[in-house]
Every structure is written in C-alpha cells, then in structure tokens.
Amino acid sequence: MKNLVKTVMILMAFLPSILTAQDKPNIILITIDDLRPELGVYGNTLIQTPQIDALSEHATTFNNAFCQVPVCGASRASMHTGVRPTPKRFTSAGTEIDHDLPNAVTIGQHFKENGYYTFSIGKVIHGKKDAVERTWTEYLPAESMFEYHDKALVEEATNPVAPYKRPQPYEVVVDSKDTDFLDGRSVKVAKERLAELKKKDQPFFMAVGIARPHLPFVAPKRFWDLYNENDIPMADNPYKPKNMPEMAKTTYGELRAYNSVPKKGDVPNDLAKKLKHGYYASVSFSDYLVGDLVAELKKQGLYENSIIVIWGDHGWQLGEHSFWAKHTNFDIALRVPLIIKPQKGKNMKAAKADGFAEIVDIFPTLCDLAGLEGPSQLQGQSLVPVLKDPNFSTKEYALSRWKQGDSIRTKGFRYTAFKNKKGVLIAEMMYDLSNDPEENKNIVEDATYKGEVEKHRKLLDKALKEYSLI
C-alpha cells in the first residue's frame, strides 16, 4: 500500500509538467518580403486579401507597427535577435547575425533550447547559412526569389541586357499551378510538415518565408486579373518633400537594376501603373498562400493551439515622394503589417491596436505567450498586454534607423537626425503627421514647431542612449 501511495504521489508531482509540455502552443511565424500595410484589414478597399483579413478576425492587428531598419537582411537580424540596429550593427541587406552579433540567441534557437522542434522554409533569416545550426532543428534554404517562367525572360536573366542586371521587373504567368512558383512550393512543403509535426512528442516553431511581393512581381494571371490597372490609384504625392535634406532621398537602385526602368529620373507613368498592378497581384497571391497554410492548420486540428504571426520586414514605396522600394526614413518605408493570433484561451477576438509596436517586440511577445523567460539581450517589449486590451499602449515611440539617420516616431510626429561618422548632427527632418500624414513638408525650420522639434531631439537622444545605440 505504501508503495502504491508513493507511486501515485510521484505521478502527481510530474503531472503538471507533463500537461504543460503537452499544452505548449505551436508557433507559425510567417514573414512576407516587402509587404507594406496594403491589406484589406488595414483599410485598403481595393486590394484583395481575403485570407489575411479572415485571420485577423481571431487576431490583433497593429496599426502602428514599425521596423527598426528598412532593408531585409538587417530587419530580419533585428527581429530574430530582438536587438536594435546601430551605426555598426544590422546595417545592410547582407547583414548576418553570426557576423554582427555572434553571441546573440536567435528566436528559433531560444525555442529550440526550450523543447521546441524548429523548422524553417523559405527566406526567413536573410543569409542562407546564417545562424542555421543553432537555430533550426530542420532547415530548408530559400530558393532564389528572382524567378521567371517565360523562356525569353529566363534567358535574359542569365544574360542581362547592359547596363541592366535583371530582366523585366514583373511577369504575368499564364496556365500555371501553385507549385510552379517558389512560394507555392514553400507552402506545400510547410503543409506537409504540419501533418508530421503534429505526431511529434513536442511543440513546434515553424517559420515560413514568402518572397512576394518582392521584386520581380511574378504572379499567376488569375491574380493579375483581379485588378483593372486603371482603377489602382497612384501615389498622389509623386514629388520630393519640401525642404527635405538631400541625404534623406533614395535612388532606388534595386528597381533601376531591371530592364525598362530608367537609370535616372522618375519612373514613367505607364510603367508605374504596371509596377503597382504587379505589386497588388503579388500581394493577393501571397495572401492566397497564407490562407492555404492556415486551412491546413485547421485541417490538422492545430489552429486553435497555434500562435500565428504575420509580419512584413519593412515598408515599400510605390511612387510616394517619387521614390520606389525601401531605404528611407519615411513612414511609408518603415511602417509594416503586424498581425498576431494567439492560442485558444488568450483572447482570439478581432481587435485593432493603435499604440506603437516594433518588430523587436515579436521575440519577447512569443516568449510571453509560450510561458518562457526571454534571453537578456532583448530590447523590445512584450505586446501581450495589448493582445489582452487593444487600447493599452506599451510605449510612447518607435525607433528606426537607416544609414546616417536615426528616426523616432511619436503619436503626432516623425523626427530624423542625420549625423556624420563622428556623430555630429548634419541634417534633420520632421513631419507633422496630424496635418501632413504623407510627410510632404519638412517643418524642422518652421518657427511654429520650435518647441516640438527640440522636444523630439531630446527624446531621440535619450532613447538612443537608453538602448546604447549611439
């Protein structure tokens, strides 16, 4: 009898930990390249994104989420470590965590070390060999995102016409199936893995990278056909902001590398229309694939106990200020979509939050939701309080930087300070977003705003010192 009682007591002692392990939420992290908040849930009534919009009915949509640096490699390194960029860390498209911050614990590594099976497919961390072994239990490298289907374009991609490096910046693909596209293949594999991961004796962390709407805008014809090109509105501010410092501009070399795009000057209107059409078609294709993956989660009975995060690595200019692509300190290049669906029992109702969120907040938020303590390096804050109450705000500003410019976004303003290599202030810009949401007039020299400018100078300086970013 004593032995029986002892056995029962031992089992009871272990039962809570066993149940905890079984009940750990699975995590699906979906990274979409170059996706700005151009979605139905963000108020765009023309673009067709029914799948992400449907997911948002069980999620919190962050209306004011900002990346820390507007370029893919650096932004992803910042998100996957929860660490902010500096003038010497996380600065470029080719940023590697192993080079810039080799001792940092990555988000996948942290969950792996805490009992999760971690799986990556598609472009998740930018570098194909960056932090792989310590981060992922299973890793499938991303395919090249510069895909074409027309034979002539494929040949042109191999032998580009001088002075261009790449063929056309878009392609309408006729008579295709999903797996003819790299994103379709990635999602197909992810769906297959879900059935396998469901059988494992551990929770999983699945990271899926979707390339579109990254250039080139390659999508099946059925998604191009969703739109009448003439119905898609072009930017109503295709001009440089008044009093904008020269160093604030971008020459958008990423787009100019393609045939048909002029090497200098503005993009012709007809081409601009085609590019925006291609961007919309690519977004709708990616939305469809997100829906395909979510449907498989539901089919496998994994949806309710899974945390799903959809985020874009940075914004993307579509002719605003005459700029294209990313690489600026303007809102349009820094604001990103961020949608978080928690697991069952954690308030899965539709909500929109207007308080600030930053991409460095994703790491601590997922730790919080999964009941894990985060590593000491984290410089973001958990957004779980916002998931519980969308009216709650965790911070008064968002910080970003690009090249020589450090930028702070507050409720009514964006202020950017440009400094030389010695840290000396050489230019500034500030925009009154309440009266000028498109940032068309730099008001840093306007006497009316003298107090606000000085306030933001001090606030930015304080924030940079607080996080040791100078």
Cα 42 to Cα 123: distance, rounded to the nearest angstrom: 24
**Which of the following is catalytic: 126, 314, 327, 456?**
126
DSSP 445: T
Burial classification of residue 467, based on how many CB atoms lie within 10 Å of its CB (0-12 exposed, 13-18 middle, 19 or more buried): middle
Asked if residue 69 lies in contact with residue 402, where contact means CB atoms within 8 angstroms, the answer is yes
Amino acid at 376: S
**Which of the following is catalytic: 67, 72, 110, 327?**
72
Q: What would the two tokens of residue 411 be?
A: 């409720």
Identify which of 257, 35, 229, 226 has the alpha carbon closest to the alpha carbon of residue 146. Answer: 257
Four-residue CA torsion sign, 442, 445, 450, 456 = positive
In 67-174 the beta strands, taken as DSSP E runs, fall at 117-121, 138-140, 170-173
Four-residue CA torsion sign, 8, 9, 13, 16 = positive
Cα 128 to Cα 122: distance, rounded to the nearest angstrom: 10
> Annotated catalytic, 126?
yes
> Annotated catalytic, 277?
no
Four-residue CA torsion sign, 63, 69, 74, 79 = negative
Asked if residue 317 lies in contact with residue 323, where contact means CB atoms within 8 angstroms, the answer is yes
Three-state secondary-structure class, residue 21: helix
DSSP 160: P
Percent of residues in the chain assigned helix, strand, coil, to nearest 5: 35, 20, 45
Q: Is the peptide bond before 25 cis (omega within 30 degrees of 0)?
A: no
CA distances from 410 to 46, 139, 252, 407, 431 (A): 29, 39, 27, 10, 11
Active site members: 72, 126
